[in-house]
Structure 1
Amino acid sequence: MIPGHTGTLDVEKLFAARLHAARVRPYLATALFALHVVESRRVPTMAVDPHWRCYVSPAFVDRTPVEELAGVWVHEVSHLLRDHHGRSDRVARERGLVGPGERLRMNIAADFEINDDVFGEGLARPEGAVEPGLLGLPEGELMEDYLRQFGLGPRTEGLVWLDCGSGADGLDREWDLGPDGAHGLSAQERDLVRFRVAHGITGRPGDVPQGWRRWAEKAFHPPQPWRELLGAAVRSAASAAGVGEDYTYGRPSRRSAGVPGAILPSLRRRPPRVCVVIDTSGSVSDAELGSALLEVTAISRAVGGRRDLVTVLPCDAAAQVVHSLCRAEDIPLLGGGGTDLRTGFARALRARPRPDVIVVLTDGQTPWPATRPSCRTVVGLFPRQRPARSWHEDDPDYVPDSPPAWARVVDIGSGPGR
């Protein structure tokens, strides 16, 4: 910090730098403007926490040019988008890494992952930004890979000042406001920010560095058996006999030749219509609702990417408004009460045109229809590991029925379903 500096934060300069960052990296704009700024004289430069607060040193802003501040903005939000705090915690558990020294290594490795291709093309490289070449390491690798390739020693002595905050390495800092502090984003809000940025990146692949394309395509949507199973279950239901079939006279049946004077219609396969019923009851967490929106997008891909054929129906004890799928992140998931997805089934089956497949995303704490619906059904179950006595929002003795045998069930977040 600047000795004797007592001034307040130059917000105008800081926000001018953020605007510049958004102009040169438009696909990151949603994330940049989601960060809440917290002035702090305990922060060496700029740092983030997992709840999307950005702690800023007034002295650092004063001495840093706007163009370099823009690069710092992008660098810090990159830690959050790439979930470096969560990944650091997982690596620490898996490899038995403890202590501030190991967390410093994680911060350095996370910086290597970001900085190898983030600067240039209108974004200035901030003074002191560390890159893999500093330790003779290759570019284009992930934080977890870099961690295996270096330790703390003489070559890293000049990096002890590095501190991007708990949002970079998962270790709480003295300046953190914590999960209950003001202006933090909820888990669902954080997922929605990542969702929008990922879609912005995949929509302009020619203008995005390889590291960001990899994040949008793989890191944000990691290959998981349950997601593949859910997509396969939807495709299987959509391709079943009788689904998506209709008669047309545009191409007469070949059997017309055997009926002189009559033209018989042929059977035509059309893309299937899918209605996704999302459980929005009080027992479903914000994080699970955010995950449900991601599944809606995966479901639309499973039926060929025709978003006009996918509708979404939020439901707790009563069915809400049916939404057409334009952008999944814009669908309001209203609810929060008890659970009775039978109303969702009834509402979906009344829709015109009627769906060929109903997909239900739920924690399973609901009564089910007594009879099999007139279309195929796939159930995605959010995991639950708690005593049966705590299953119901209102009745402590209630134990929910398992999904019916006529539904194809996939356990979300675990192994194969049934």
Structure 2
Amino acid sequence: MVPTTAVSTMAVDRHWRCYVSPEFVDAIPVAALAAVWVHEVAHLLRDHHGRAELVPPALRRDHHRINIAQDCEINDDIAGLPAGALRPATFDLPPGRLFEEYLPSIPPTPHHPQCGSGAHGQPMPWESADAPQVSVVEAAAIRRQTAQAVKARATGRGSVPAGWRRWADEILEPVVDWRRALAGAVREAASWASGAVDYTYQRPSRRGAAVPGVVLPRLRRPMARVAVVVDTSGSMGDGELRVVLAELAGVLRTVGIGRERVAVLSCDADVHTVRRVAAIGEVVLEGGGGTDMRVGIEHALRAQLKPNIVVVFTDGETPWPEKAPGQARVVAGLVGRNPPAPPPWIESIRIPEGL
């Protein structure tokens, strides 16, 4: 939070600083103040500044129109805003659309909302480089935690606006069929798929009673141990980390419960955190420096409980080990636009953005 007289209400920059006019706070009722606060936070949660960079160049130059279209996307999901708040109906547009759909239909208008670079992406003169900022990794964690809270809240029909439910689904849901991908990796690395059977003498079969003097093995269902290395280097932006966390949730659901079976390592040029997790809410990501996924892979393979599979989520801008490790299969989940291909011995799964 940055108190300032340079804005008339509230605004945000792309580093998650919120600029607030003290006079505005004093003058507005608390309920309306909360609605304006949610509006500004929504620009950041919905990655409006990142999405604004992808609109056609002819439209990108008019950041006022972009801001208006973004306000239309947000405001039909927020109750209690002050009078005059821009909504799709202000421009005879249908509700429930994304700002990219509204943008071509926004006419020249005297309304000039100024929500800052956290909305339209253009730095403003009043944005301060001295105030603390939220890192890309922290921003991804905030989005994930908020999406989980929205999903938990949406227990009854109409309890959460449709736009927020759709946003939470996009943040949390994977697009890769990790059951199929990991089953294939298990078959090759350990010669059985998750759920297949093998014989073990650790617990003799009950049928042994029918054959005196002979110890018969019991069938078992071996389960894969998975290490997930998450690229948290500076080249991984908000969008990439959002996609990675959704896919990581899919991996955890596929492998199933059991804290000893999934280890998550956050890695840039060094390994920062290693945690055995059972749910996506337990994941901690740190980093933001250079990129070397070899360090994370080697660290995962040195663990006491060695993984059968190492899944590396990265944008591909990293060196890789020179040869395949003998004891585990490496799967690369590649995010971003046109990521470089890893060595041929690594199974590559390209994960599209824009869920």
Task: Sort the TM-score into its range (normalised by shorter chain).
Answer: 0.7 to 0.9
Aligned to 2:67: 107
Aligned to 2:327: 374
- Residues 403/308 of structure 1: CA separation in 2 closer, same or farther (3 Å cut): same
| Residues 113-192 of structure 1: pairs in structure 2 closer than 5 A | 113-119=73-79, 124-148=80-104, 150-152=105-107, 156-157=109-110, 160-177=111-128, 180-192=129-141
- Residues 147/375 of structure 1: CA separation in 2 closer, same or farther (3 Å cut): same
Displacement of 1:46 in angstroms is 1.1
* Equivalent in 332, 343, 347 of residue 403 of structure 1: 343
Q: Which has the larger radius of gyration?
A: 1
- Residues 231/341 of structure 1: CA separation in 2 closer, same or farther (3 Å cut): farther
SS of the residue 2:68 aligns to = helix
In structure 2, how many angstroms separate the alpha carbons of the residues matched to 1:318 and 1:167? 30
Displacement of 1:75 in angstroms is 0.8
- Residues 118/253 of structure 1: CA separation in 2 closer, same or farther (3 Å cut): farther
- Bigger shift: 131-140 or 68-77? 131-140
- Bigger shift: 232-241 or 335-344? 335-344
SS of the residue 1:360 aligns to = strand
In structure 1, how many angstroms separate the alpha carbons of the residues matched to 2:46 and 2:293? 37
Aligned to 1:200: 149
Instruction: Please state if 1:277 is matched with 2:232.
Output: no
Instruction: Please state if 1:242 is matched with 2:192.
Output: yes
- Residues 81/333 of structure 1: CA separation in 2 closer, same or farther (3 Å cut): closer
State percent identity of aligned pairs: 40
Displacement of 1:214 in angstroms is 0.5
Amino acid at match of 2:263: T
In structure 1, how many angstroms separate the alpha carbons of the residues matched to 2:130 and 2:50? 19
Tell me if structure 1 keeps the 8 A contact 2:68–2:106.
no
Amino acid at match of 1:151: I
- Residues 66/204 of structure 1: CA separation in 2 closer, same or farther (3 Å cut): closer
SS of the residue 2:332 aligns to = strand
- How many positions carry a matched residue from both structures? 340
SS of the residue 1:128 aligns to = coil
Amino acid at match of 1:74: V
In structure 2, how many angstroms separate the alpha carbons of the residues matched to 1:384 and 1:98? 20
- Residues 63/318 of structure 1: CA separation in 2 closer, same or farther (3 Å cut): closer
Displacement of 1:152 in angstroms is 1.7
In structure 1, how many angstroms separate the alpha carbons of the residues matched to 2:290 and 2:89? 54
- The normalised TM-score by structure 2 is 0.77
Instruction: Please state if 1:97 is matched with 2:59.
Output: yes
Tell me if structure 1 keeps the 8 A contact 2:176–2:247.
no
Tell me if structure 1 keeps the 8 A contact 2:144–2:172.
no
The root-mean-square deviation of aligned C-alpha atoms, in Å, is 4.0
Displacement of 1:277 in angstroms is 3.4
Gaps of 5+ in 1: 1-36, 387-400
Displacement of 1:270 in angstroms is 4.1
In structure 1, how many angstroms separate the alpha carbons of the residues matched to 2:235 and 2:3? 31
| Residues 309-348 of structure 1: pairs in structure 2 closer than 5 A | 309-314=261-266, 322-325=274-277, 326-327=279-280, 330-331=283-284, 333=286, 339=292, 341=294, 344-345=297-298, 348=301
Cα deviation 1:290-325 (Å, max 9, x = unaligned): 465554333213434666531124567876774211
Tell me if structure 2 keeps the 8 A contact 1:313–1:348.
no
- Residues 236/371 of structure 1: CA separation in 2 closer, same or farther (3 Å cut): closer
In structure 2, how many angstroms separate the alpha carbons of the residues matched to 1:269 and 1:239? 13
In structure 1, how many angstroms separate the alpha carbons of the residues matched to 2:342 and 2:91? 55
